[in-house]
């Protein structure tokens, strides 16, 4: 199964509400990253959190990381219709060899924000 | 910077034909990645290069797929012969060391 798995698969909210997406992973990581993909477009990097960090903020985004539970969450506050997109977590696995530097993506959460 | 550039943006071909996808990474980036995205399998890493050298091609589906990076500013992904199940969006991404990965806009491939 995927190294990173997002939950929920789909989320539908009203503008102004907060959106929370979760990601779980299996092996030790170097860092975890969140990406956004608008329909028909490429992925855009949102935020990176390292394994020794617990929380990070960027504008309306807040990411937490719990390495003991192997999980992360992405919170988007005061959502806007323009936040409608798919959100992916990606893990950079700790270790050498061919795994070094690889990102493994989850299946994503489809977020719909209704105006 | 123009970002990661991919061409073509759309490709429609018939089964059995050769398909070549192209990617120009961001100048100065030393790692390049090819991904494939489908509804069924999500985003899959096919191959990645570090300093123009293929590091891990374990994600390449089969011998019909090949990738090259002759220099730091150009890479190709070739499918020969193509099959309908190869239909997908193919993304190229680049980064510098372990920094942020920047994705191109993708090539939407349809094999009839």
* Range name among A74-83, B50-59, B102-111 with the lowest pLDDT average: B50-59
pLDDT at A56: 97
Q: How many residues are there in chain A?
A: 115
φ and ψ at A73, to 5 degrees?
-135, 145
Read off the pLDDT of each residue in A12-28 and give the average, rounded to a whole number. Answer: 95
pLDDT at B73: 95
For residue A92, the chain B residues in CB contact (below 8 A) are 98
For residue A56, the chain B residues in CB contact (below 8 A) are none
Over residues B1-15, the pLDDT tens digits come to 689 999 999 999 999
pLDDT over 90 percentage in chain B: 82
Please, what is the average pLDDT of chain A?
90
Question: Strand A10-14 and strand A109-114: pairing?
Answer: parallel
For residue A43, the chain B residues in CB contact (below 8 A) are 43, 91, 93, 103
Judge whether residue A1 has pLDDT over 60.
Answer: no
- Is A101 in contact with B55 (Cβ distance < 8 A)? yes
- Is A106 in contact with B42 (Cβ distance < 8 A)? yes
pLDDT at A95: 64
Residues B111/B90, Cβ–Cβ less than 8 Å: no
| A19: DSSP letter | E
Question: Strand A103-105 and strand B5-7: pairing?
Answer: unpaired
pLDDT at A33: 93
Chain B: which residues have CB within 8 Å of chain A?
4, 31, 33, 35, 42-43, 45, 48, 50, 55-56, 58, 91, 93, 98, 100-106
How many cross-chain Cβ pairs, A to B, lie less than 8 Å apart? Answer: 49
- Contacts of residue A53, defined as CB under 8 A and 6 or more positions apart, other chains included, come to A65
pLDDT over 70 percentage in chain A: 90
Judge whether residue B31 has pLDDT over 50.
Answer: yes
Dist. CA B27–CA A88, nearest whole Å: 26
Residue A66 tokens, joined: 């719990």
- Is B98 in contact with A101 (Cβ distance < 8 A)? yes
Over residues A44-88, the pLDDT tens digits come to 999 999 999 999 999 999 999 999 999 999 999 999 999 999 999
Longest dimension (CA), chain B: 38
Question: Which pLDDT band holds residue A17 (cuts at 50, 70, 90)?
Answer: very high
CA-nearest residue of chain B to A32?
Answer: B100
Read off the pLDDT of each residue in A28-54 and give the average, rounded to a whole number. Answer: 92
Dist. CA B108–CA B110, nearest whole Å: 7
Dihedral of alpha carbons B67, A37, B38, B112, sign: negative
Cα atoms in the 13 Å half-sphere on the side-chain side of B83: 6
Dist. CA A77–CA A79, nearest whole Å: 5
């Amino acid at each position: 199964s995927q190294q990173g798995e997002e939950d929920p698969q789909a989320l539908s909210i009203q503008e102004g509400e907060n959106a929370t997406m979760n990601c779980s992973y299996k092996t030790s990581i170097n860092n975890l990253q969140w990406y956004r993909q608008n329909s028909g477009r490429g992925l855009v990097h949102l935020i990176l959190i390292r394994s020794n960090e617990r929380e990070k903020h960027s504008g309306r985004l807040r990411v937490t990381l719990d390495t003991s539970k192997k999980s992360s969450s992405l919170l988007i506050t005061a959502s806007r219709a323009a936040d409608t997109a798919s959100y992916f977590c990606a893990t950079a696995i700790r270790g050498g060899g061919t795994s070094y530097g690889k990102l493994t993506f989850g299946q994503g959460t489809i977020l719909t924000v209704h105006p | 910077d123009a970002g990661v550039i991919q061409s073509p943006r759309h490709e429609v071909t018939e089964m059995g034909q050769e398909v070549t996808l192209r990617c120009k990474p961001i100048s100065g980036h030393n790692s390049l990645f090819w991904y494939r995205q489908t509804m069924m399998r999500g985003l899959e890493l096919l191959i990645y290069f570090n300093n123009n050298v293929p590091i891990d091609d374990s994600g390449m589906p089969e011998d019909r797929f090949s990738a090259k990076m002759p220099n730091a500013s150009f890479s190709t992904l070739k499918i020969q012969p193509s099959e309908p199940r190869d239909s997908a969006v193919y993304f190229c991404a680049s980064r510098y060391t372990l920094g942020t990965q920047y994705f191109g806009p993708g090539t939407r491939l349809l094999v009839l």
